[in-house]
Every structure is written in C-alpha cells, then in structure tokens.
A and B are shown apart, each in its own frame.
Chain A
Amino acid sequence: MFTFITDYFSQVGERLDWNGELVQCVVFPKLFGTAYTDLGFAAACKDPALSTTLFGALGNTLIAVFLGYGIAMVVGLVLAMGQRTKSKILTRIVREFVEFIRSTPLVVQIFFVFFVGPQFGITLSPWVAGMIAIGLHYAAYLSEVYRGALAAVPAGQAEACIALNLSARRSFFGIILPQAVPLALPGMGNYLIGIFKDTPMLMVIGVAEMMHVATAIGSEYWRYTEVMTIVGLIFLALSLPTAALLRVIEAFVRQKLGMTR
C-alpha cells in the first residue's frame, strides 16, 4: 500500500560525474548513509559539508540553534537590562543598536560578520561568524521580548522591593526577573522556532547545516525535489513538537513559581 513512498524514495537519478559523463545512480538509499561521500564529489570540492550526511547536518543545525539561542538569551538579557538603567545615554545607545539589528536582514548580517571582519583583521571561522551573527540578531529580538515581559511585572512589585530596602540587584534578579520568565516564555518559544528556521541562512558562509548539505546533494544528483521535501519535513517534524513542548514548559514554570492555583 505504501509502496509508492518507497518507490519514490528509491528512484534512480542521473548525475554528471566529475568527468562530465552522465551516470545513473540510486538517489535516496544513499542520503542517510556515509556512502554518498564515496561518489568523489567531496574530494573534488573539498567542501566540508559533503563529508556529512543529511542527518549529520541536522546535528549541526541543532548545534547552531542551541549555540545561537544560548548567545541570544544571554546577550538579549544584557540588552534588555541596558534599557532599564537610569543612564539615558546608555539606554539610547542600546535602543539604537537593537533597532539597527532589527531593521537589517539576517543574511546580510551573516555575510557582514564573515566577509567584512577580515578587512579589519578579524578573521572568523564560518561557525564563529555564524553564531555571532545569528546570536546577536536574535538577541535583539529576545531583548524586546524580555523588555515587554519585565515591563508587564506590576509596578507594585518594584515598590515592595523599595519598601523592604532590597538592593537593586536583588530586586531585579530575585523578584522582578523570575516573575517575567513565564511572561517571556511564549515570545521566547516563537524565536526559538524562528532561529531554527533561520539556520539555513548560515549556508551562505559554508556552515555545514542541513540546507547546505541538501543543496549539495541536490546538485550532486540534479534532483532537488526529494531532498528539499525531506528537509522541509525534518523542519516540520521538529518545529511542531517544540511548540507543544514550550507550552508544557511554560505551564511547568508557572507551577514551579507557585503562580498557578
């Protein structure tokens, strides 16, 4: 009954081999194995991407998500706190920085960090450049989520902190921030999925994430439909449960904080 699926995934494709001759090859059984490096394409291109499979690249994609999001969460908090200080100048500078990042495309930022850095003597590997770019980009967005969540904590909480003579540090980290966490989680979840879906942009500087490898495979066999379908399905298969998982986490955090009945 489902043979059409297996048929589809075991189609014979054609590719030009490196000598320019048209050869036939089985496309998909090789997608998930190490076999496809045997084709010699990698050796010819010396592209690190091609030493990995699509699933191997998925690992890289996830690493990129966690590193990039980790950077974004921490830097985002710094950016949000920078806009809560008494210093008007600092607030202004951080504000402009956030606006600047939010009003330029991520791809451009990735290119910029990778290719413009060397002009000033800063040479970064694709991974480092990619993580800085995507981390800062999402830090700007997360800082807005944090800022909104912090502002949504009732003013009476800060006043109670003053009345109890708590230090500014303790008030923020002990009282205001914990209450902002459940408020920030939905927005944070959106951007977690967002960063996941934006990792393909890292291919422009040669980070071996899924899209990079998929494109390489596609060009290898001259067939893009199947491999892109699989990439799309992998993204879908991970995004959907993440959204559900985030709702569970939010409920859990609220309960842990004692903020549900």
Chain B
Amino acid sequence: MEDMSQYPLELNGDDVPMVRFMNVSKRYGDLTVLDALNLDIQQSEMVTVIGPSGSGKTTVLRMLMTLEKINEGVIYVDGKPLTHMEKNGVLVPASDSYIRSVKGDIGMCFQHFNLFPHMTALQNCIEAPIHVLKMNKKEAIERAEDMLEMVGLADKKDQHPIRLSGGQQQRVAIARALCMRPKVMLLDEVTSALDPEVIGEVTNVIKKLVAEHNLTMLMVTHQMGFARDISDRVCFFFDGKIEEQGTPTALFDNPQRERTQQFLSAVKSAD
C-alpha cells in the first residue's frame, strides 16, 4: 500500500500549478504505461506532449479527464486533489460524486470528435451547460452561439454532425467543450483523423484560443510545426516517462537526449 501521508491535502502558496501530476503511475495488468510521472502545468500555460506511439501520451490526458483510474500518486487540479479526497486527514480514492464536483474544471477534445450524432451542433453545445451547469436554455443558446461563432461555424449551428466535414465536427467539439468554461483544456490528437486540407481550420481555432483566452492547455499532437508555433513548453514522452522537456526552441533545435534526437529526426524524415 502506498503511503498517502506524503501527499498534501491541497496545494497552497503563491505558485500553485493549475495541474500537478505527483508520482502518478498507471498500469494495465503487468504493463506499466506511466511510471511515477511528475508534471506541473501552470495557469495559462500551453503544454504539448509529443512522443512515439504507445509512450503513454493519451493515457496522461485520459487520467486527467478521469477516464482512467490511476494506480499510484495523486493528480491535483487548481490546488485540489482530483483523484483523491480528504477523509480523516488523509487522502483516499475519490468517490464518483467528488470527482464530478472537481472535474468540471477540465474539458477535453478527442481524436474522433465524439459529437452526439442525434443532436445538432447547437444542441451538442447546450447539452452540458443546461444539464450540468443548470443554465437556462436562453443563456445556454447565447453562449453556444458565441462559441460556434468563435470557431467560425455560426451558420452550421442547426446541422447534425453527419452533415459536417471532419474539420467542422472537430471545431464544434471544441466549441462544445468551451461552453463549459473549463480552466484546463485537453486536446488529444485533434487533427489526426482529419484530411490534410482541413487541418488548418482546426489549428487556427486552437491558435486563436491560445491568443485570446487564458486557458491552460495540454495537447498531444504529431504535428511538430504546430507544436513549435504555439507551445510554451514541449514534453517528449518515451516509454511512460518524460524523457525531456523544454521550450519549443530548446527541445526542437537543441535536443539533449539521444532518444529525443532520434525521435525528432525520424519524424522529420517522415515529413
């Protein structure tokens, strides 16, 4: 059993990170996917995760979105524990209702969009604000229309996903997540399922988000150019660990570790 007393009940002080992974491990059976991960993401920081397939990038996002349970360690969001809750002065695994009360700060967009196919773009966007935030319908619609406008799809609001292109669907998915006003936004390879010619419309929306909103973002991508353009920090994952991290310039132009160099040159030659 893990000694939980080493983990603070909450994070205090001046520089509390927006997200803190503290000694987080994730295993599937015998396979250790993440090994004692420590990662802080500051308020308004844009962190990009790169790395070879199977290195655990998606798993990091899924754990933070509470789609996966962690085996060891604690994840904190905005100073509060996410995966655990306080009981008699120590942290114990969080109950479902506790998790629901905390994870509202986090939003996520998926590789395959996962829009609700039986709802129009607008209905997709107002679903959670109405049923989770208990907003009234009129306000929810106003907010959703603003967000759809922001992603450039105001005219498509009454279309069902099946009638939208992949790029449009992904932009609706971004708008839908933003309607919940998350503090942290997770993007898992949001352009990987898209045709090359529509990738730009999605990356432009993300660039706009970074420029205009002070969201904290954690993004997994295979597009190195895009990562370099918009990230504050890039983390290179290898085999369930952060092999190297730094500013885009440092990591892309002057990688220190051999595996980083190999990965980057492999990616470059593939382009």
Contact = CB atoms under 8 A, between A and B. Distances in A.
B127 A261 contact: no
A164 B176 contact: yes
A162 B65 contact: yes
Interface stretch (B23-31, B76-84, B99-107, B238-246): B99-107
B166 to A, nearest CB: 14
A85 interface: no
Nearest to A164: B128
Interface in B84-130: 100, 103-104, 106-108, 110, 112, 114-120, 127-128
B162 interface: yes
B132 A156 contact: no
Contact of B65 (A156, A163, A167): A163
A252 to B, nearest CB: 14
B67 A157 contact: no
B180 A164 contact: yes
A166 B116 CA distance: 13
Nearest to A178: B118
Contacts of B66: 162
Contacts of A174: 127, 131
A157 B65 CA distance: 14
A160 B118 contact: no
A164 B108 CA distance: 8
Interface in B154-194: 160, 162-163, 176-177, 180
Contacts of B115: 160
A166 B132 contact: yes
Interface residues of B, number: 28
Given A162-B67, A164-B180, A166-B127, A157 B114 contact: yes
A159 interface: yes
A160 B67 contact: no
A163 B116 contact: no
B118 A258 contact: yes
Given A162-B67, A261-B162, A179 B128 contact: no
Nearest to B159: A258
A175 interface: yes
A260 B118 CA distance: 10
Contacts of B180: 164-165
A260 B132 contact: no
Contacts of B120: 258
Given A159-B67, A159-B110, A179 B118 contact: yes
Interface residues of A, number: 21
A156 B114 CA distance: 6
B271 to A, nearest CB: 29
Nearest to B163: A261
A19 B100 CA distance: 80
A170 interface: yes
Contacts of B114: 154, 156-157, 159-160
Interface string B138-162: 0000000000000000000000101
Contacts of A179: 116-118
B157 to A, nearest CB: 13
B160 A259 contact: yes
A257 interface: yes
Nearest to B117: A259
Most chain A C-beta atoms within 10 Å of own C-beta, residue among B103, B110, B114: B114
B146 to A, nearest CB: 18
Interface in A145-198: 154, 156-157, 159-160, 162-167, 170, 174-175, 178-179
Given A259-B118, A261-B163, A167 B112 contact: no
Contact of B110 (A160, A165, A166, A260): A160
A157 B115 CA distance: 7
Nearest to B130: A170
Given A165-B100, A166-B131, A174-B131, A160 B65 contact: no
Nearest to B107: A163
Interface of B: 65-67, 100, 103-104, 106-108, 110, 112, 114-120, 127-128, 131-132, 160, 162-163, 176-177, 180
Interface of A: 154, 156-157, 159-160, 162-167, 170, 174-175, 178-179, 257-261
19 contacts: A157-B116, A159-B114, A160-B115, A162-B65, A163-B107, A163-B110, A164-B132, A164-B176, A165-B180, A167-B131, A167-B132, A170-B131, A175-B127, A257-B117, A257-B118, A258-B119, A259-B117, A259-B118, A259-B162
4 residue pairs, one from A and one from B, having the closest CB atoms: A258-B160, A164-B128, A156-B114, A160-B114
Given A163-B65, A163-B107, 10 more contacts: A154-B114, A156-B112, A159-B114, A160-B110, A164-B127, A165-B103, A257-B118, A258-B118, A261-B162, A261-B163
